[in-house]
Chain A
Amino acid sequence: MSSSLDDLYQEIILDHYRKPRHRAAELEPHDVHVHHANPLCGDELDLRLQVDSTGSSAPRVGAVVYDGDGCSISMASASAMTEAVTGRELADADDLGEAFRLMMHGEGLKREDDLLDGVAFQGVAKFPVRVKCALLGWMALKDAIGTYRDGNQEHRVTHE
């Protein structure tokens, strides 16, 4: 499979890296805080999720922020993720995360429009060692939703 640096570092990705959206160390109030580390690369990511459970409808992503120390792919992907999931029902956000995961593993493109800038990470699939970077933020989100459903506020995960 041919692959060029432009596949990996699309302009949209570099834009999220340079001008991160929803990157913050705090979110008040928040319902869940998760910390995800990828010891192999040293990437660390904190994600805070505020769940909007007012009204009669299903709980939604009220707000989500991330902060961390990692490569451009991991930080830009987390940034794009926050835009794609804010306002979505938790189950829907989870489903979108699964669509992103499948895309990163080259298993098809679903919900292309809903992923917004997340689609730009398709090219990362051609760089197998960097796929985990792109997934870090989405895995943190999935974990945050799971942690919330379990009735907990904190969770720390170390990826192997």
Chain B
Amino acid sequence: MTAMLDALDVETVRKDFPILERRVHGRPLVYLDSAATSQKPQAVLDAMDRYYEQSNANVHRGVHALAEEATEAYESARGKVARFVGADPRGVVFTKNATEAFNVLAYSLAANRLGDGDILLSTQMEHHANLVPWQLVQPRAGFEIRYVPVMASGPDAGTLDLAAFDEIVATGRVKLLTVTAMSNVVGTINPVADLAARVRAANAEAVVVVDGAQSVPHMPTDMLALEADFLCFSAHKMLGPTGIGVLAGKPELLDDMPPFLGGGEMIANVTLEGTTFNEVPYKFEAGTPPIAEAVGLGAAVDYLSALGMESVRAHEVALLEHVLPALNAVEGVTVHGPTDPSRRGAAVSFGVGGLHPHDIGTIMDREGVAVRAGHHCAKPLVRVLGSAATTRASFYVYNTLDEVQALIDAIETTKRFFAR
């Protein structure tokens, strides 16, 4: 391919990611699994090393120099994250991952705010992290869970059925909407702000929860513009470390919620008779938090901000403009989800003739191409696509047009292998 990607200087970006130099089964690594977890730039690794080498201490406790440095590093990361998504720093809670953020909301928000007669509205497109926690609290809280279906065919295949959405919203009973901003399977970008406005118009008390696990790493995010009350995402999908996620919320809503986990840090005063709680966000950060991970996340946010999220998005749209037609040109390949790059992110699920995703994934691995095969923790959605599993190639800032070609070549190799 001779076409260029000019939104980012990809060759320079690639030099920042040490892992991209390694080989797999004797071939250069072609990493197309960033929707599962992204690779980490040297700046993130260095920031975490530097923290452990120079400033390691517990936060918010000691009066010594290291404790102050550690606290400053931790809180500065909170500030960076808040600016990155347009949140109030008081509403940025560090969790273990996006999954834990959803669990906080299920147990501390939904279980208290919703009851008999209320509808918690979710969609068929959601990751299990945005399905299971609500299902766990539902029997006790008594609310009803409804799901917006996903269009199975037609020009809008892989997008939400908005007519069905409106029908449910018209009941006026939707008290919580939880929806992904970008599908981890088919890449669909949902009209979150529009959905939020419609839900609020029908019920002024409704709160809106957005799953930003795929969108925050890949496109500019502003909670205000999204009309989101809460936004959940994970550091490891946005060039940061594992072990830390974010629950960003409106401080006044977090104030009203009871704590999720109890322990140190989240308290104001403890007696054997009872406890009063610290203010937000600390009320939701029981125990020693993931300090080095927060520092790593802060460095990841710096790295992405330096690239510019508009440029990150433009790079991925440019990749999509190549990869979607290239995949469609391969005989037997079916690409799932929106065909228009402007309506989707760079997680691309596809099927190859009668071949099973695990066979495709295994043979591609031998070619050095890392893709995901399976249900992508979104079984209800994958079922809509008419299969039990798909193969997914997902792209990020470090992926090139040569790697798009490597994917296509690997699909051809797989087809030849099973046709022989």
- A contact residues vs B (CB 8 Å cutoff): 5, 8-9, 14, 17, 39-44, 69-73, 127, 130, 133
Chain A residues near B355 (CB-CB < 8 A): 72
Q: Is B115's CB within 8 Å of the partner chain A?
A: no
**Looking at B357, B363, B375, B389, which has the most chain A CB atoms within 10 Å of its CB?**
B389
- B contact residues vs A (CB 8 Å cutoff): 355-359, 362-363, 366, 373-375, 379, 382, 387-389, 417-418, 420
Chain B residues near A14 (CB-CB < 8 A): 418, 420
Q: From residue B384, how far is it (CB to closest CB) to chain A in Å?
A: 14
Cross-interface CB contact of A5 among B366, B374, B375, cutoff 8 Å: B366
Cross-interface CB contact of B363 among A5, A17, A43, A44, cutoff 8 Å: A5
Whether A71 contacts B418 in the complex (CB less than 8 A), given A40-B374, A42-B374, A42-B375, comes out as no
Distance A43 CA – B417 CA, assembled complex (angstroms): 21
Could you list 5 further interchain pairs (A-B, Cβ under 8 angstroms) beyond the known A14-B420, A73-B358, A130-B362? A14-B418, A42-B388, A42-B389, A69-B388, A71-B356
- Cβ contacts A to B, 28 pairs, < 8 Å: A5-B362, A5-B363, A5-B366, A5-B417, A8-B362, A14-B418, A17-B418, A39-B379, A41-B358, A41-B373, A42-B374, A42-B375, A42-B382, A42-B388, A42-B389, A43-B388, A44-B388, A69-B388, A71-B356, A71-B357, A71-B358, A72-B355, A72-B356, A72-B359, A72-B418, A127-B362, A130-B358, A133-B358
A41 touches B418 (CB 8 A): no
Q: From residue B61, how far is it (CB to closest CB) to chain A in Å?
A: 40
Q: From residue A153, how far is it (CB to closest CB) to chain B in Å?
A: 25
Chain B residues near A5 (CB-CB < 8 A): 362-363, 366, 417
Q: From residue B149, how far is it (CB to closest CB) to chain A in Å?
A: 21
A9 touches B417 (CB 8 A): yes
Chain B residues near A72 (CB-CB < 8 A): 355-356, 359, 418
Distance A133 CA – B361 CA, assembled complex (angstroms): 14
Distance A70 CA – B382 CA, assembled complex (angstroms): 15
Distance A41 CA – B387 CA, assembled complex (angstroms): 11
- What residue in chain B is nearest A72 (Cβ atoms)? B359
Chain A residues near B375 (CB-CB < 8 A): 39, 42
- What residue in chain A is nearest B363 (Cβ atoms)? A5
Distance A72 CA – B420 CA, assembled complex (angstroms): 14
Distance A8 CA – B414 CA, assembled complex (angstroms): 14
- What residue in chain B is nearest A4 (Cβ atoms)? B366
- What residue in chain B is nearest A68 (Cβ atoms)? B388
Distance A130 CA – B373 CA, assembled complex (angstroms): 12
Distance A44 CA – B373 CA, assembled complex (angstroms): 15
Chain B residues near A71 (CB-CB < 8 A): 356-359
Chain A residues near B373 (CB-CB < 8 A): 41
Distance A40 CA – B388 CA, assembled complex (angstroms): 10
Chain A residues near B358 (CB-CB < 8 A): 41, 71, 73, 130, 133
Q: From residue A133, how far is it (CB to closest CB) to chain B in Å?
A: 7
Chain A residues near B356 (CB-CB < 8 A): 70-72
Distance A23 CA – B232 CA, assembled complex (angstroms): 46
Chain B residues near A43 (CB-CB < 8 A): 388
Chain B residues near A17 (CB-CB < 8 A): 418
Chain B residues near A127 (CB-CB < 8 A): 362
A41 touches B374 (CB 8 A): yes
Distance A41 CA – B362 CA, assembled complex (angstroms): 13
